[in-house]
């Protein structure tokens, strides 16, 4: 029996665990999306880098694992989040290597040719976790340029402490110079919008003339970690001694749904693309193990800054997925284009499934677009995205209230 919950059009390897998108890049006309990946089982452990590539953002090919933990090496405990840099024509992965525990991590480089199929990881770390009061964990390097120089930012903080972002100069990727914090929660805008113990997966890019910073919010609650969504901050970069400081002016929630975290940006010509990780919502470990997979990447999204707000829309290429019109939502993948207020529900007999947004899987209060692909549900209304999950079964059905046009989606 087919797995109706499994998305067909999103990036999702055949089996195993998937989380953060990493190393999102484009070389010689080919898009590459790497992701944290446990190929052995659907649990958050044994982290490798998986790899998918596409020329059109629609059809994805899966390559052999790109980065693998090396027993006895600096990344024996996992090849965790990072980015890919075009270093003088050489694709170079800049990633978090964990020796054994999250607090024992460093940045490692790996290089490839321009096919990005075979990677050679270096033996040592270029920078480790700094020994400093208030910092227990550092991770997720993201490299950017400003004023003709290359910098890297990393997320940092402590389980019962306060978050910050650390800045480094790295014109030579093997030589990193600490430049102090790029941002701390002493800033009132950041403290109000992104209260956390650790800021993870920072992304910093210039979009429509403004600097935009993405932060994933990690909190320590009841002796476990809570992933509390993603915030965006819009502001400016200012010189501060030998380094830079980010001064936010406004911000908000990147995704209004309950299932989006750890996104990564790609500057793609005149636009900025984004992928995020969508986890499984309200699914037991037993159910996940029976399916044999966990985690999906969102569809690619285009970002824009308008009137002090970050807007998110489906990538324009997704229009090419539309096939015939449907009378009602049905099948494995479909798009609903609403004319006004509408709501989508998943029901089985008299049971209405609650997936974190009340009884509605997705709802719009005006014209919008709802994408459903297996258990992935992504809604876009007036520049606001919302990602959730809903799990169809052989006996369930979708119900739509409200005026809309419905398309089957396919390749």
Q: Is the pLDDT of residue 350 over 50?
A: yes
Alpha-carbon distance of 112 to 110, in angstroms, equals 7
Alpha-carbon distance of 67 to 51, in angstroms, equals 9
Residue 399 near residue 344 (C-beta atoms within 8 A):
yes
CA 287 to chain centre: 24
Which residue in 236, 408, 234 sits closest to 305, CA to CA? 234
pLDDT of the residue at 132: 84
Domains and CATH numbers, the chain: 16-314 (2.115.10.20), 319-409 (2.60.120.560)
Collapsed DSSP state (helix, strand, coil) of residue 19: strand
Tokens of 368: 């919008």
**CA angle in degrees (0–180, nearest 5) for 175-178-181:** 145
Q: What is the mean pLDDT of residues 321-342?
A: 96
Out of 13-22, 51-60, 71-80, 131-140, least confident range = 131-140
Q: What is the mean pLDDT of residues 360-368?
A: 85
Residue 34 near residue 66 (C-beta atoms within 8 A):
yes
pLDDT of the residue at 356: 39
The chain-wide mean pLDDT, for the chain, equals 95
Collapsed DSSP state (helix, strand, coil) of residue 193: helix
Alpha-carbon distance of 371 to 145, in angstroms, equals 35
Which residue in 47, 2, 119 sits closest to 295, CA to CA? 47
Over residues 258-267, the pLDDT tens digits come to: 999 999 999 9
Using pLDDT thresholds of 50, 70 and 90, give the confidence band for residue 133: confident
- Percentage with pLDDT > 70 across the chain: 97
Over residues 9-48, the pLDDT tens digits come to: 999 999 999 999 999 999 999 999 999 999 999 999 999 9
Collapsed DSSP state (helix, strand, coil) of residue 37: strand
Long-range contacts: 73-78, Cβ < 8 Å, 24+?
73/97, 73/121, 73/123, 74/99, 74/106, 74/108, 74/123, 74/124, 74/125, 75/99, 75/108, 75/121, 76/100, 77/101, 77/104, 78/45, 78/46, 78/47, 78/48
Q: What is the mean pLDDT of residues 181-195?
A: 98
Radius of gyration of the chain measured on its C-alpha atoms: 21
Over residues 274-330, the pLDDT tens digits come to: 999 999 999 999 999 999 999 999 999 999 999 999 999 999 999 999 999 999 999
Over residues 202-213, the pLDDT tens digits come to: 999 999 999 999
CA–CA distances in Å: residue 75 to residues 51, 108, 121, 181, 294 = 18, 8, 10, 25, 23
Using pLDDT thresholds of 50, 70 and 90, give the confidence band for residue 86: very high
Collapsed DSSP state (helix, strand, coil) of residue 390: coil
Alpha-carbon distance of 18 to 37, in angstroms, equals 5
Q: Is the pLDDT of residue 273 over 70?
A: yes
pTM value is: 0.96
Using pLDDT thresholds of 50, 70 and 90, give the confidence band for residue 359: very low
Which residue in 130, 127, 139 sits closest to 172, CA to CA? 127
Residue 196 near residue 186 (C-beta atoms within 8 A):
no
pLDDT of the residue at 351: 66
Pairing of the two strands 384-389 and 397-401: unpaired
Locate tokens 């990677």: which residue? Answer: 119
Tokens of 118: 């075979």
By the 10 Å C-beta count (0-12 exposed, 13-18 middle, 19+ buried), 258 is classed as middle
- Percentage with pLDDT > 90 across the chain: 91
Residue 316 φ/ψ region, left for φ over 0, alpha for ψ in the -120 to 50 degree band, beta for the rest: alpha
CA–CA distances in Å: residue 166 to residues 139, 159, 174, 337 = 10, 17, 17, 42
């Amino acid at each position: 029996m087919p797995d109706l919950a499994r998305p067909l059009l999103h990036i999702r390897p055949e089996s195993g665990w998937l989380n953060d998108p990493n190393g999102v890049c484009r070389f010689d006309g080919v898009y590459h999306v790497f992701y944290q990946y446990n190929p052995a089982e659907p649990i958050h452990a044994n982290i490798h880098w998986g790899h998918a590539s596409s020329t059109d953002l629609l059809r994805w090919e899966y390559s052999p694992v790109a980065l693998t933990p090396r027993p006895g090496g600096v990344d024996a405990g996992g090849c965790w989040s990072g980015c890919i840099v075009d270093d003088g024509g050489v694709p170079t992965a800049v990633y978090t290597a964990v020796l054994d525990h999250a607090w024992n991590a460093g940045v490692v480089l790996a290089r490839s040719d321009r096919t990005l199929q075979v990677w050679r990881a270096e033996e040592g770390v270029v920078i480790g976790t700094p020994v400093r009061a208030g910092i227990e964990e550092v991770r997720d390097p993201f490299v950017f340029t400003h004023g003709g120089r290359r910098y890297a930012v990393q997320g940092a903080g402590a389980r019962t402490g306060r978050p910050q972002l650390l800045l480094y100069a790295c014109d030579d990727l093997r030589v990193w110079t600490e430049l102090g914090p790029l941002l701390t929660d002493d800033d009132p805008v950041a403290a109000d919008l992104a209260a956390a113990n650790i800021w993870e997966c920072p992304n910093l890019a210039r979009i429509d003339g403004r600097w935009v910073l993405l932060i994933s919010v990690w909190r320590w609650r009841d002796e476990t970690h809570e992933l509390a969504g993603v915030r965006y901050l819009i502001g400016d970069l200012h010189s501060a001694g030998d380094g830079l400081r980010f001064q936010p002016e406004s911000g908000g929630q990147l995704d209004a749904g309950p299932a989006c975290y750890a996104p990564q940006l790609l500057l793609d010509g005149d636009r900025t693309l984004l992928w995020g990780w969508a986890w499984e919502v309200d699914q037991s470990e037993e159910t996940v193990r029976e399916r044999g997979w966990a985690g999906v990447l969102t569809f690619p999204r285009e970002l824009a800054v308008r009137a002090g707000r970050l807007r998110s829309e489906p990538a324009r290429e997704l229009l090419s997925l539309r096939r015939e019109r449907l009378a009602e939502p049905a099948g494995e993948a479909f798009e609903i284009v609403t004319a006004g207020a509408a709501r989508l529900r998943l029901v089985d007999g008299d049971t209405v499934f609650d997936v974190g947004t009340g009884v509605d899987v997705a709802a719009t209060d005006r014209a919008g677009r709802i994408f459903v692909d297996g258990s992935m549900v992504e809604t876009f209304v007036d520049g606001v995205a919302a990602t959730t999950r809903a799990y169809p079964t052989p006996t369930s059905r979708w119900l739509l209230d409200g005026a809309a046009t419905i398309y089957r989606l396919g390749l």
